[in-house]
Amino acid sequence: MPALNPKISDNHPVIRQLDETAINRIAAGEVVERPASAVKELLENAIDAGAARIEIACADGGKTLIRVTDDGCGMTAEDLPLALSRHATSKIDGSDLLNIRSFGFRGEALPSLGAVGRLTITSRVAGQDAATISVAGGRMQPVRPAALRSGTVVELRDLFYATPARLKFMRSDRAEAQAIGDVVKRLALAEPFVGFTLRDVAGGGDGRVTFRADAETGDLFDALHGRLARVLGGDFIDNALAIDADREGLHLTGYAALPTYSRGSAVTQFLFVNGRPVRDKLLYGALRGAYQDFLSRDRHPAAVLFLDCDPHLVDVNVHPAKSEVRFRDPGLARGLIVSALRHALAEAGHRASSTVAGATLGAFRPEPTEPRVYQMDRPATGMVHPAPSPGFSETAERFARVEDVAETTDHLNYPLGAARAQVHENYIVSQTEDGIVIVDQHAAHERLVYEKLKRQIAENGVSAQALLIPEIVELDEADATRLLAMADELSQLGLALEAFGGNAVAVRETPAILGQIDAKAMLTDILDELDELGDSQTVKARIEAILSRVACHGSIRSGRRMRGDEMNALLREMEATPHSGQCNHGRPTYVELKLSDIERLFGRT
């Protein structure tokens, strides 16, 4: 007996109009996924109200209490009930949904929060009396007089108490608190002229401050620089490159870190569109693409980037959470990010991150087990100079070959200094005017060879090999059209495509450097990348991967002895070659130690 379809009943289905409470609870499922979502919506309202100082207090990861206090313009007693009505907003008039210049505009957050929690809003407009209103589980109470000096206080208690099934999806208090902190930091980066204070009040009272960023002053770049130091720390600022680029109505500003300051996850990637924090896969893909030549797949770049444009060029009304955007020309946005970051990285030359030296010094410092006793503090028993043991010089020669100082003095004023020795037949030790530099000869030469190969391909193009029998790949109509539209771009990389009737595409040439390839698999990878990012770097990435492998095998090997002139020539070429501060996998090619740090290491300061 065939199974009955549970969606078919004997009775004709009746279309019903849901009540306001049910509508708001449904909306809350999209707008408020977790306590951090509620904090985001309330902070955006405070910023839109012109607040200069905002304080956030949370208890139990925001599950039992979220309180946001601001000094913004406030709301009147008449405004409060309307603010809790669905799709009521002061930020747009509905005539142009593309000309959006505020964080909020949908009018869904407050009624959604009131539908799933216990919400109280107390507010005061300058020159008027304060008023308060409460709503719990969608049931609104009348407006009452209140005491408040200025601004607005929004208090949300027992989030999701009205929809207990949602509570099962909540994470631990610590995880939810961490997510709230991330939201606050992102908005603090977006608004450096606004002061933010985040408190954990789980224990009652004033609690403890977990994050604080006072309002910055100066121009926008100075303010952002100061805010970055507070949010991301001094190490990021010390190793970040300023970004400022324009292209066809798009303006990109911010900071991007050197490849050697990479992270194990994407936690230090902050992207903003017209000042709005976004988590957009197109932009994240562009950021990844800009660094793909410098980092291995398990490392992630650090960057804070602001993309600004006419609001009509980007649609922010893609999702109720407003974390995704859609550009009118996604290729233009991606291209600007990739080109601007690669230009900045090239301008950085051979520079490597300062944290490399810090990690090196830290590795040199042994854990103290007892108080230091220096030779000068020991009882004088007479000076004894033991004679070197037989074979001393020969033993030392196995580890280091020392160069003649007189021959290399003229190199001291170069950034990477003058070669002094080769240690373990792999590391070049050079002396600068104020310190020493240790170079990994294989990693450094690998990057130099790789950059030379890339320049040759850029100048002469990618050699293509014609297939004896063209490979015919059947695709659906949309995929075939997309591939043929970028045929000219792919041909510059050695991949020649042409239409072959119907929805088939003929692959007539492939990049010679890739050898024998599976053409259908490559086209599928290209299409997948187009779906995900709106652009494809698949062929170029594969070519560069081969070049990187060639560079690795063709570079100076570990264990090879180098003469002094060879070592100095390598140092000079590094100084003249962009990106030479890191190897093809993002590891540093050299470490620079300042003399002051070395003296401190030996307690000479």
CATH architecture of 20-213: 2-Layer Sandwich (3.30)
Question: At residue 549, what is the residue type?
Answer: R
Please say whether the beta carbons of 43 and 188 come within 8 A.
no
Decide which of 3.30.470.20, 3.30.230.10, 3.40.50.150, 3.40.50.300 is the CATH code for 220-347: 3.30.230.10
Quickly name the fold that domain 439-605 has: Ribosomal Protein S8; Chain: A, domain 1 (3.30.1370)
Please say whether the beta carbons of 197 and 211 come within 8 A.
yes
Q: Given a cut of 70, is residue 292 above it in pLDDT?
A: yes
Q: Please list, residue by residue across 374-392, b when 16 or more beta carbons sit within 10 angstroms of its beta carbon and e when fewer do.
A: eeeeeeeeeeeeeeeeeee
Q: What is the mean pLDDT of residues 136-155?
A: 92
Q: Given a cut of 50, is residue 384 above it in pLDDT?
A: no
Question: What residues pair up with 397 in beta bridges, in sequence order?
Answer: none
pLDDT at 88: 60
Helix (H) or strand (E) segment spanning residue 308: strand 303-308
Dump strand ranges (E) for 201-292. Answer: 208-213, 240-247, 250-257, 269-273, 276-278
- 565-605 per-position pLDDT tens digit: 999 999 999 999 888 888 877 788 888 888 888 887 777 76
The mean predicted confidence, pLDDT, of the chain is 81
Range among 114-128, 276-290, 397-411, 486-500 rated most confident: 114-128
Question: Three-state DSSP class for 278?
Answer: strand
Please say whether the beta carbons of 119 and 26 come within 8 A.
no
- 87-129 per-position pLDDT tens digit: 666 555 445 555 565 665 555 788 888 888 899 999 999 999 9
Question: What residues pair up with 519 in beta bridges, in sequence order?
Answer: none
Q: What is the mean pLDDT of residues 333-362?
A: 78
Please say whether the beta carbons of 195 and 54 come within 8 A.
yes
- 216-263 per-position pLDDT tens digit: 988 888 899 899 999 998 889 888 899 999 999 999 999 999 888 888
Each domain of the chain, given as residue ranges in start order, spans 20-213, 220-347, 439-605
